[in-house]
Amino acid sequence: MWEILALLALAGAGVLVYNGLVRLRETAETAWSDIDVQLRRRHDLVPNVVEAVKGYTEHERGTLEAVIAARSEAMSASGPARRGDAEGSLSGAIRSLFALSESYPELRASERFRQLQETLSVLEEDISQARRYYNAVVRDYNTRIGQVPSNVVARTFGFREREFFQLDGAERDAPSVRLEGA
């Protein structure tokens, strides 16, 4: 009788651990989807920024091409680690693009350019918040996978650690978006 109760208690504990791991895995998937949405919004905005700058800086073609190439690389990267590297490169290219505006007062004065800068600034903050949330969930998930007894359940059912999403210093050096008169 006691053996049956002990076995039922052990099975119940295993089910609770399994369900907790599934919940964390799904939360991580949802958090990654949120990051992906923000990054796609950013990717969609970049061509508009390039077009706004193009009319004012015709001889700065190299910078514009670098932004376009970085965007393409970021869009095709897969997995949090590779995506983070590519997005870090895109952030650097965008910084270079906005640095150009310092040399072109008429570009800085353009209402369209200022709106694009403001939108990008909001997007960068949204990406930062989504990244922090995702990484916190991944930390919790990876910790649970490594802890006893959940590591036994995780190994048995094929739960694997997830990668963190790092932006290669982009958090420290986010694209500089300064609005004149703001």
Q: What is d(CA 124, CA 90) in angstroms, rounded to the nearest whole number?
A: 12
Banded pLDDT at 174 (limits 50, 70, 90):
very low
CA 158 to chain centre: 26
Average pLDDT of the residues in 71-100: 92
* Residues of the chain above pLDDT 70, percent: 91
Residue 55 in this model has a pLDDT that exceeds 80: no
Q: What is d(CA 119, CA 171) in angstroms, rounded to the nearest whole number?
A: 17
Average pLDDT of the residues in 108-112: 85
Q: Give whichever of 15-29, 90-104, 156-170 has the largest mean pLDDT.
A: 15-29
Query: Residue 100 has what pLDDT?
Result: 81
Backbone phi and psi for residue 52, each to the nearest 5 degrees, phi listed first: -65, -40
Residue 176 in this model has a pLDDT that exceeds 70: no
Average pLDDT of the residues in 58-82: 89
Residue 173 in this model has a pLDDT that exceeds 60: no
Residue 172 in this model has a pLDDT that exceeds 80: no
Contact predicate 120/45, CB 8 Å: yes
| Cα distances (angstroms) measured from residue 79 to each of 34, 84, 91, 144 | 14, 8, 18, 21
Query: Residue 175 has what pLDDT?
Result: 47
* Residues of the chain above pLDDT 90, percent: 67
Provide the residue ranges of all domains of the chain, joining segments of one domain with +: 18-157
Query: Residue 169 has what pLDDT?
Result: 54
The domain made up of 18-157 has a fold known as: de novo design (two linked rop proteins) (1.20.1440)
Query: Residue 61 has what pLDDT?
Result: 80
pTM: 0.82
pLDDT single digits (tens) 112-171: 888 988 999 999 999 999 999 999 999 999 999 999 999 999 999 999 999 999 986 544
